[in-house]
Chains A and B, each alone.
Chain A
């Protein structure tokens, strides 16, 4: 069922035989997938399929029980989120990791603040404000002011800020956890545009965890379907369809019911 991806495009991130057990619970049982450079990989699956656990492993948040990770072709054992970040892997989590009471520009630079030299770690707010404006301008995100607290923005604007933050930190691999969840069609459209703009700008490879098959097929270059901790199907987005994916999931439901 798996179609070979053109081997000429180098890989950005590859997982091989990832197993994750939490005590007696097996969350992932041997997941392998490849993200090609400059592409968008869509990971689909129901709740409990192991998508979020996989995400946490790819960002260094939790270590895998077994399996290997390759970043730009080199095997790495991610020790921490900071380690993954130093390799250019950034993640936008579902809960956005934004601090609502802080301004847009403070959120854009959270834990990566520009500081004045000296022992007191004083914030260079002016530089952060200017760079935040430039960064949002560059990727085409429009908000009234970067000094507004994030809580005064809409859900779509907040998601855009979270994505901008990851991009702002010179990410080369971007992981997006349900970036379109709980969003109206118009807001989702704006985020999709933003993601496609980032991809077109080059230099960025993106993994998206998604629920909506139609959206996934619209954005992604490659689709991976996860069920019960395993990759059960993968294909180029243009070679598959919502119907085909639905059929696989339906088959799975029948299996579960008969057990």
Chain B
């Protein structure tokens, strides 16, 4: 119980970095924007490229919110991309059967919540690691989607105003994303649910000894992740006016996980940031669009993405080391 004031100078910088883990990735994002803006003046300031960028960022950011909640609890949902593909089909079939559009969307989201419930129950009650559970449901759902759709895309329901709100208008997806991020950030930082999610991830045994119902939390977060993935699928299908059984898939899921990791959420659990996930998705979007606009080979993007994930993880580990040094000061 010795008195040790956090030191100034280097210590203060470390404290700031620790308090706003999003800060470092935000700086990276701004540097990237400045670089691409200098290389190509139309990079951000034209309407078309802004729309393009926002439509890349939004799906990754929304799915990342769910993945981050799971990652904080030490779990992951590999099936998110397949929930993304299946959910709009549920909406489509419900709508075909005569259900009005909005209830059809709600029904589809309930269906994705049930998938999340299954993921959660299998993981929590049957003690299968979520990596395996969702690896299984990943393939399973892909098969279900392909079977239901006979492998062919269908047109998204026609209703111009509804479609515009649900992703068809250029900026509606990013508005959804910002709204979801705002809500999820509040849930994580300001509500009991968020606090308990962090506590359960940091010390599962301790949290349950404190009376926190860890399993219920985990199942809830699996459902949340699935609903957000399903919502993204619906938004994307209205955006491109087509429901594609091959849409989403593993690439969008891994992009979302990458956004979370780059944003500062380690897979180990116990900590994480929703805001970081949004910035992480933004960085990925800037990289992807920026390279396209300055004419760099698209394959280059994957090289940069891979390097960025590794750099982000190294940074996380390094900051953890600095933190322990700080504790010993």
Contact = CB atoms under 8 A, between A and B. Distances in A.
Interface of A: 61, 81-82, 85, 91, 93, 95-102, 106, 110-111, 113, 115, 120-123, 125, 141-145, 149, 151-154, 156-157, 160, 190
B270 A99 contact: yes
Interface in B313-329: 323-324, 326-327
Contacts of A154: 1-2, 327
Contacts of A152: 323, 326-327
A156 B196 CA distance: 24
B207 interface: yes
B210 A110 contact: yes
A3 B202 CA distance: 46
Nearest to A148: B6
A110 B207 CA distance: 8
Contact of A97 (B5, B190, B203, B323): B203
B159 interface: no
Nearest to A121: B192
Contacts of B1: 141-143, 154, 156-157, 160, 190
A121 B188 CA distance: 12
Contact of A121 (B6, B193, B327): B193
A142 B201 CA distance: 27
| Main SS at interface, chain B | helix
Interface in B168-212: 190-193, 195-196, 198-199, 201-203, 205-207, 209-212
Contact of A113 (B3, B4, B192): B192
B271 interface: yes
A93 B209 contact: yes
Given A102-B202, A141-B1, A142-B3, A121 B209 contact: no
A123 B190 contact: yes
Given A111-B212, A123-B191, A144 B6 contact: yes
A98 B203 contact: yes
B209 A101 contact: no
B182 to A, nearest CB: 13
A141 B206 CA distance: 22
The 8 A-B residue pairs whose C-beta atoms are closest, nearest first, are A97-B206, A99-B199, A99-B202, A121-B192, A101-B271, A152-B327, A97-B209, A111-B210
Contacts of B327: 151-154
B3 A144 contact: yes
B4 A97 contact: no
Nearest to B200: A99
Given A97-B206, A144-B4, A82 B211 contact: yes
Interface string B205-226: 1110111100000000000000
Interface of B: 1-6, 18, 190-193, 195-196, 198-199, 201-203, 205-207, 209-212, 270-271, 323-324, 326-327
A156 B205 CA distance: 20
B206 A93 contact: yes
Contacts of A142: 1, 3
B193 A98 contact: no
Given A95-B203, A141-B1, A101 B191 contact: no
Contact of A101 (B3, B196, B198, B324): B198
Contacts of B192: 113, 115, 121, 123
Given A93-B206, A111-B207, A111-B211, 7 more contacts: A97-B206, A97-B210, A99-B206, A106-B199, A121-B191, A123-B191, A151-B327
20 contacts: A61-B209, A85-B211, A93-B206, A95-B206, A99-B207, A101-B202, A102-B195, A111-B207, A115-B192, A120-B191, A122-B190, A122-B191, A123-B190, A123-B191, A123-B192, A125-B190, A141-B1, A144-B5, A152-B326, A154-B327
A190 B1 CA distance: 8
Contacts of A153: 327
Contact of B195 (A95, A98, A106): A106
Nearest to A59: B209
A93 B203 CA distance: 12
A91 B211 CA distance: 11
A134 to B, nearest CB: 17
B212 to A, nearest CB: 5
A95 to B, nearest CB: 6
B323 to A, nearest CB: 7
A121 B209 CA distance: 21
A254 B196 CA distance: 49
A83 B323 CA distance: 38
Given A110-B210, A123-B191, A99 B323 contact: no
B271 A81 contact: no
Contacts of A81: 209, 211
Nearest to A82: B211
